[in-house]
Structure 1
Amino acid sequence: MAKIKIAEPASYEAALEELEQLVARIESGQMPLEQLLSGYQRGATLLAFCRERLEAVQDQIKLLDAGKVQPWTAE
Structure 2
Amino acid sequence: MPKDPFKPPASYEAALEELEQLVQVIESGQLPLEQLLTGYQRGAELLAFCRGKLEAVENQIKVLDEGTLKPWTPQ
Partner of 1:29: 29
Residue matched to 1:18: 18
- Give CA-to-partner distance per residue, 1:30-53, whole Å, 9 cap, x none: 222220111000000000000000
Distance 1:18 1:39 in 2: 11
CA distance in 1, matches of 2:61, 2:73: 13
Residues 51-70 of structure 1 mapped to structure 2, 5 A cutoff: 51-70=51-70
Give structure 1 regions of 4+ aligned residues with deviation exceeding 4 angstroms: none
Unaligned runs of 5+ in 1: none
Q: Residue in 2 aligned with 1:43? A: 43
The residue type equivalent to 1:52 in the other structure is G
Q: Distance in 2 between matches of 1:63 and 1:73?
A: 13
Q: How many residues are matched? A: 71
Amino acid at match of 1:60: Q
What are the Cα deviations for residues 7-58 of structure 1, in whole angstroms up to 9, with x where unaligned? 1100000000000000000001122222011100000000000000000000
State which drifts further: 43-52 or 32-41: 32-41
Counterpart code for 2:43: G
TM-score by length of 1: 0.89
- Identity among equivalent pairs (%): 72
Where do 5+ consecutive residues of structure 2 fail to align?
none
Structure 1 SS opposite 2:16: helix
